[in-house]
Amino acid sequence: MDHPAIYIVLLLGIVFIAPMLYMHLSTFTAVGKAAPDLSSLVNDQRDESQAIYIFFMSDKCSMCRAMTPHIESLQQQYKNLYTVNINQEPKLSRGFHVLGTPTLVAVENSKIKKMKLGKLSRHNIESFINT
């Protein structure tokens, strides 16, 4: 206990970094799992093999508010891009293992193909959709 500052730094690291690591780990473990029922989000006439992209956001999230104009303009171009407010659809959010916002999810053949947690630029959102 000669250097209490080291313990304080370690404690702060655990308190602030561990939750972020857990959220990122959750996105990695969700990839490849079956997607929950999307009937409340998309119409029944879509092709199951066509990818669906879901933007999970929250009204209180500043990064989500920064991404929302990009998502809304891209929804004109990509009809398979949907927005889900986690406060209004908590069950759907839990089904996708979304623990933090903003999160972008790709679903293909009823499986979670990929996920991205955190703020993305318009270019990175388009790149996520097109790859």
Whether the pLDDT of residue 125 is over 80: the answer is yes
Cα separations (Å) of 99 from 25, 53, 85, 93, 130?
10, 17, 13, 8, 25
Residues of the chain by 3-state class (helix, strand, coil), percent to 5: 45, 20, 35
Token readout for 4 is 């209490």
> Residue 1 — pLDDT band, cuts 50, 70, 90?
low
112 — phi, psi (to 5°)? -75, 115
Whether the pLDDT of residue 131 is over 90: the answer is no
Strands 81-85 and 103-108: unpaired
Of the listed ranges 26-30, 106-110, 127-131, the one predicted with least confidence: 26-30
CB distance 110 to 58 below 8 Å:
no
CB distance 109 to 50 below 8 Å:
no
Of 118 and 28, more confident? 118
Quote the pLDDT of residue 111.
94
pLDDT digits (tens, 9 = 90+) for 48-105: 668 999 999 999 999 999 999 999 999 999 999 999 999 999 999 999 999 899 999 9
Of 1 and 85, more confident? 85
Quote the pLDDT of residue 19.
78
Please provide the average confidence, as pLDDT, over all residues in the chain. 89
Beta bridge partners of 4: none
Beta bridge partners of 82: 54
**What pTM was estimated for this model as a whole?**
0.83
